[in-house]
């Protein structure tokens, strides 16, 4: 694993906020693949091919916690500090507060949908593929949910964050606020990059792995139906 990596603390904070599960350790090869994703463009989904889907899901869940418990509150605090130091009411700052509040609601709803539907469904796919007793659970679940249904409702959230950053650039801070202004812009840019990588891991790694498992189970289901 690379030493003195600027992105290492950013990635490792996910594991500090939400300690590793009993059956999951911090995999050094997986960590190296994550750091490579943060450093290199374009994103290479093949770097994550060797890792089991449970490890990918674990990272996705930790990232959700990291966003909700750390990143969003930090950005919100910077916006509030910036507003409190401005001597008069500024329309851009008021719009920014409303915009970011709405964005937080949308991102939270996005995460909750994945936590309550997508990720439990993928966990079921994984169980059904490895435990015969879980196949009946899959038969019931697939009537209500599928990866294709998730994709139909899915949208990424980096674009909205980019709009927020562009809105901030309309604001001309007084000298007393310049430092906070730069901090806020840096926070948003870092978060935007993190969200982009998060979306790429979901869309190019997690979902294809889940679709492969789903296809195997669907084939098994069809063969079972033909025998009956």
Query: Residue 14 in contact with residue 67, Cβ under 8 Å?
Result: no
The whole model's pTM is what?
Answer: 0.86
Domain ranges within the chain, ordered by starting residue: 54-227
Cα separation, 109 vs 41, in Å, equals: 29
CA distances from 147 to 104, 152, 215 (A): 25, 9, 10
Supply the DSSP string of the chain, one letter for each residue.
--SS-TTHHHHHHHHHHSPPPTT----HHHHHHHHHHHHSSS--GGGGTTS-HHHHHHHHHHHHHHIIIIIHHHHHHHHHHHHHT-SS--HHHHHHHHHHHHHHHHHHHHHHHIIIIIHHHHHHHHHHHH-GGGHHHHHHHTTT--HHHHHHH---SHHHHHHHHHHHTT----GGGHHHHHHHHHHHHHHHHHHHHHHHHIIIIIHHHHHHHHHHHHHHHHHHHHH-
What is the structure's pLDDT at 3? 42
Per-residue pLDDT of the chain (228 residues; tens, 9 = 90+): 334 457 888 888 888 865 554 444 678 899 999 999 998 778 999 999 999 999 999 999 999 999 999 999 999 999 888 878 765 567 777 788 888 899 999 999 999 999 999 999 999 999 987 776 788 888 889 989 999 999 988 877 777 788 888 877 777 777 777 888 889 889 998 999 999 999 999 999 999 999 999 999 998 888 876 666
Tokens of 36: 């490579």
What is the structure's pLDDT at 88? 59
Neighbours of 135 (CB within 10 A): 16
- The pLDDT tens digits of the residues spanning 121-169 come to 999 999 987 776 788 888 889 989 999 999 988 877 777 788 888 877 7
What is the structure's pLDDT at 61? 95
């Amino acid at each position: 694993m690379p030493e003195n990596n600027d992105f290492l603390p950013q990635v490792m904070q996910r594991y500090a906020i939400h300690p590793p599960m009993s059956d999951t350790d911090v995999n050094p090869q997986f960590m190296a693949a994550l750091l490579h994703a943060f450093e290199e463009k374009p994103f290479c989904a093949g770097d994550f091919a060797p890792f089991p889907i449970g490890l990918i899901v674990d990272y996705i869940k930790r990232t959700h916690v990291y966003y909700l418990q750390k990143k969003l509150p930090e950005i919100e605090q910077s916006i509030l500090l910036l507003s409190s130091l401005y001597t008069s009411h500024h329309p851009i700052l008021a719009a920014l507060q409303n915009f970011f509040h709405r964005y937080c609601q949308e991102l939270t709803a996005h995460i909750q949908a994945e936590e309550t539907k997508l990720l439990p469904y993928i966990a079921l796919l994984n169980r059904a593929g490895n435990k015969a007793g879980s196949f009946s659970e899959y038969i019931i679940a697939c009537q209500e949910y599928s990866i294709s249904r998730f994709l139909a409702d899915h949208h990424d959230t980096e674009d909205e964050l980019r709009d927020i950053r562009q809105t901030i650039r309309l604001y001309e801070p007084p000298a007393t606020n310049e430092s906070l202004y730069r901090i806020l812009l840096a926070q948003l840019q870092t978060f935007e990059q993190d969200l982009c990588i998060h979306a790429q891991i979901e869309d190019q790694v997690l979902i294809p792995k889940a679709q492969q498992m789903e296809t195997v189970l669907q084939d098994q289901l069809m063969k079972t139906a033909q025998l009956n």
